[in-house]
Amino acid sequence: MPHVTALTVSAPAFEHHREPIGIGESAPRLSWTVETGIPGWRQRAYEIELSDGTVTGPVESEQPVLVPWPGPELTSRERRGARVRVHGHDGSVSDWSPWSWAETGLLEPADWQAGAAGPPLELLGVPDGPALLLRRDFTVRGPIDRARLYVTAHGTYEAELNGRVVGDDVLSPGWTSYGHRLRYRTHDVTELLHEGANAIGATLADGWYRGRVGFLGGKTNIYGERTALIAQLEITYADGSTDLVVTDDGWRCAPGPVTTASLYEGEHHDARLLPAGWSEPGFDDASWLPADVLRHDPATLVAPSGPPVRRTETLSPVAVLTGPQGETILDFGQNIAGRLRIRVQGPAGHTVTLHHAEVLEDGALALRPLRSAVAEDRYTLRGDGTPEEWEPRFTTHGFRYAQIDGWPGELDPSDVQAVVCHTDMRRIGDFACSDPLLTRLHDNVVWSMRGNFVDLPTDCPQRDERLGWTGDIQVFAPTAAFLFDCTGPLASWLADLAAEQAELGSVPHYVPWVPLAFDTIPTAAWGDAAVLVPWTLYQRSGDLDLLRRQYTSMKAWVDQIASLTGDDHLWDEGFQFGDWLDPAAPPEDPGKARTDHALVATAYHAWTTTILAQTAELLGHDADARHYAELAQAVREAFRGEFVTPSGRLACDTQTAYALALTIDLLDGPAQRERAGRRLVELVAGDEHRIGTGFVGTPLVCDALASAGAYDTVYELLQQRNCPSWLYPVTMGATTIWERWDSLLPDGSVNPGEMTSFNHYALGAVADFLHRTVAGLAPAAPGYRRLRIAPRPGGDLTHASARLDTPYGPASVSWTLEDGTLTVTATVPPGADAEVDLPGSAVREVGAGTHTFTAAL
């Protein structure tokens, strides 16, 4: 048997989980990657063994990604190991992979014995008031085999057992459409318990449930007026018997040190108010009030499909600045989402104030962009003569700078750290090139993704908004899916989208939906997220089940627009955001784009209808596939009839209009496409190679130019430094992607517009083009089963590279250009293959392995 040791198989992954404890799938699909030096290696068959004795024997299949669960379905609390062995077409057989283990959570509503224990009304302040403490004692009867805490809340919580914080997640349970889906987490707490007296507790804040959320004053009490903890501690003893400790009326409540906790306002903590030992056994809670048991619906409780928010990095200040009034301002050198951690010593009752901002204006914190979010944390010292460490727990801010007021004595900058907090996704992709500004632009995109995946995909992390705007993630999803493994988190968000859509009859502007200023009227490019985000995730992860789960939602969206547009198929009525933030739109009217809203909307209708037809075909809904393919054709014809001249000019002479027509394939034949491509080049040149697109055109304009072969123009745009351009913010010192092309004006002042965030990922959607075309690493089949290696060097770049942990394993492309010779080195993971398309060369096919190609340019 050849090559037994030349093949190594990774321990299988379960679904999209990073830590498969408390999973919600009873038949989790398995994925693995193979490492081998055998050129062109392909899997012919796999074998799976489960710890319950299930063995599949060799299953003829080339698929190592999301393979069906081979054993009996898991029930609640079941733990199962899995390992894999693979056979190659060349006769090679691997050794068994290491085992990996998954454990289910509580899969049935009936598994939940826990009630919702809420602080009594006497303790409950106004929304965004104090965080409250809940606790109870319990006894562990004997030696423990294992213990699990299943926990969630109406509000945000931090749980403790015997004086120790449970888990390292923050802002749990995060924000979902709570009325439909409330995620719980499962913690292995075996090590936190001991025989005899124990105590469990939690600090409970209002969070998204009851605190203020949204712009224009926002709303409070969105999901209810009462916060509550839902906790179920299950202890399994060595003798097999079990005990349950659940939230019920045996819990007691009191105020704690957190006197104010608000996502927007910040957190105030008075360390003198901490009841010492409150979550330890034997604490005297006689003066505490009994919790009320409130109604909750266990049917809404779901296991997470991705990782929680965690502290992912700590930054030290890079400079200590003095503001115009003598303020002490720390610069952390990077705009982030998170909060500060301080170490301070001083007199009891003394208060330190921490104020956050993304940018400075005239040397002081620029607070106007935060609108009504106060973003101020306060710590009042216990003052017992020892250093005190503090980090707020129930708030987060978008900031690079922090003003520190009231610091007792001399501030040592190392006593203040910035703690980066976001969904703890696995980083999978990267990009670099010889232009440091372009590489920094890419880094800024990564930071904006980190700043805006704070549990859900948001528009911004700093002002009174931070909502799951559908349009923003719709345009950014291809980039997001390359940078981090976000399939799990976005699958959860899409489940919310579908639930909200079913309830509201349309895809809301943001998910979760909070009724604020306007109704849930369908809008193009935003509502189209219902179709395009699942499709993108399928392309990148190969997860067909995700499309299956979203199909009803995808179809409902397209049907809704089809009935709205009627027989003429033109979407030319009703409110639209359109090409939002077109650089020509005035600061106070970001929707006043040059591109006709009807053109944008009709183009999107054609696009999502086409994708829906393809989805239907993949899922075997043949009649649907035919119906939507015909509808897409009709919409295309309607588009052409209304917006395209016979020669290929568009009724709207804008970069965005041509970008849409060219990338969505709305034109009729090569002659029209050639004319449209030429016109786009003329338009970009007419704008002195500055960007002329908003949210809609920005992700498409480079691809549109590339489809016309206009790479010179692509690079003129990409490497442009004058405003507006992708690099202008970089030249102004940006460390994240800005909401506006000119959030900071060339004179260094903040754009006067109401909407001026410095951390919005949408305009960073160009990173997907950097990956696919500048570096040249693109998917050619779902899940990167086939790669397209097609770099298109240009501008003054002398090298570029991208790497990606695809579902099949690590892939990379790296090129250098020297004396007119392009040298490309590409790695194709085992089990995948690639088409290699280099400028001036015929397309080649290659299999797994590392390959080098050269081409004369």
The residues that touch ligand BGC, with contacts defined as CB under 6 A, are 459-460, 465, 469, 471-472, 577, 580, 755, 760
- Whether 419 and 391 have beta carbons less than 8 Å apart is answered as yes
Smallest distance, Å, CB 337 to ligand BGC? 15
Tokens of 717: 């745009």
Least distance from C-beta 661 to ligand BGC, angstroms? 22
Tokens of 569: 């198929």
Q: Of 739, 754, 818, 845, which one is the catalytic site residue?
A: 739
Q: Least distance from C-beta 720 to ligand BGC, angstroms? A: 23
Indicate which residue of 376, 465, 500, 716 is catalytic.
465
Q: Which is nearer to ligand BGC, 471 or 488 (CB)?
A: 471
Task: Write down the least CB distance from residue 592 to ligand BGC, Å.
Answer: 12
How many residues in total does the chain contain? 857
- CA-nearest of 524, 481, 691 to 16 is 481
Minimum gap (Å) between residue 651 Cβ and ligand BGC = 23
The distance of closest approach from Cβ of residue 467 to ligand BGC in the complex, given in angstroms and rounded to an integer, is 7
Question: Which is nearer to ligand BGC, 14 or 476 (by Cβ)?
Answer: 476
Q: How far is the CB of 54 from ligand BGC (least distance, A)?
A: 47
Q: Find residue 48's DSSP bridge partners.
A: 84
> What distance lies between CA 147 and its chain's CA centroid?
31
Pairing of strands 429-433, 799-806: antiparallel
Give Dmax (Cα) for the chain: 84
Q: At what angle do helices 436-452 and 470-483 cross, to 10 degrees?
A: 120
449 neighbors 737 (Cβ within 8 angstroms): no
Closer residue to ligand BGC in complex, CB, 15/459: 459
Asked whether 135 and 161 are in contact (CB, 8 A), the reply is no
Q: Number of C-alpha atoms within 13 angstroms, CB side, residue 37?
A: 5
Q: How far is the CB of 755 from ligand BGC (least distance, A)?
A: 5
Query: Which residue type occupies 14?
Result: F
- Report the C-alpha gap between 340 and 401 in whole angstroms: 10
Residue 232 or 506 with smaller CB distance to ligand BGC? 506
- Residue 314: HSE in the Cβ half-sphere, 13 Å Cα cutoff: 9
Nearest to 589 by CA among 369, 766, 751: 751
Residue 219, token pair as written in the block: 């709303």
Question: φ and ψ at 509, to 5 degrees?
Answer: -65, -30
CB of 560 to ligand BGC, least distance (A): 19
Q: In 644-659, which positions are buried (b, 16+ CB within 10 angstroms) versus exposed (e)?
A: beeebbbebebbbbbb
State the nearest-atom distance from the C-beta of 528 to ligand BGC, in Å: 13
CB under 8 Å to 410, separation ≥6 — which residues? none
Least Cβ distance, residue 487 to ligand BGC (angstroms): 22
What one-character-per-residue DSSP string does 489-518 give?
HHHHHHHHHHHHHHHHSS--SBSS----SS
State the minimum distance, in angstroms, from the CB of residue 590 to ligand BGC.
Answer: 7
- Helix (H/G/I), strand (E/B), else coil: 572: coil
Q: Which of 778, 814, 762 is nearest to 793 (CA)?
A: 814
DSSP characters over 676-731? HHHHHHHHHHHTTT-----TTTTTTHHHHHHHTT-HHHHHHHHT--SSSSSHHHHH
Task: Identify the DSSP state of 578.
Answer: -
Of 154 and 760, which has the nearer Cβ to ligand BGC?
A: 760
Minimum distance of ligand BGC from residue 563's CB (angstroms): 24
739 flagged as catalytic: yes
> Based on CB atoms, which residue is closest to ligand BGC, 28 or 218?
218
Cβ distance 46 to 96 under 8 Å? no
Roughly what angle, to the nearest 10 degrees, separates helices 622-643 and 544-565?
50
Q: Which residue matches tokens 């400790």?
A: 245
Residue 175 sits at the vertex; the CA angle it makes with 171 and 180, to the nearest 5 degrees, is 140
The radius of gyration of the chain from alpha carbons, rounded to an integer in Å, stands at 28
Q: Which is nearer to ligand BGC, 760 or 772 (CB)?
A: 760
DSSP 8-state secondary structure symbol assigned to residue 9: E
Distance CA 493, CA 513 (A): 12
d(CA 791, CA 812): 12
Identify the H or E element spanning 556.
Answer: helix 544-565
Q: Which of 144, 158, 235 is nearest to 195 (CA)?
A: 144
The two tokens of residue 534 are 């699942």
DSSP designation for 152: E
Is the Cβ of residue 35 or residue 754 nearer to ligand BGC in the bound state? 754
Task: Specify the residue, 15 or 472, whose C-beta has the smaller distance to ligand BGC.
Answer: 472
The residue nearest ligand BGC at its CB is: 459
Place of tokens 């995946």: 453
Question: Among candidates 273, 262, 255, which has minimal Cα distance to 213?
Answer: 262
Q: Select 450 or 760, whichever has its Cβ closest to ligand BGC.
A: 760
- Nearer to ligand BGC by C-beta: 469 or 643? 469
Beta pairing class for 319-322 and 328-344: antiparallel
Residue closer to ligand BGC by CB (options 509, 689) is: 509
Q: Smaller CB distance to ligand BGC: residue 459 or 485?
A: 459
Annotated catalytic residues are 465, 739
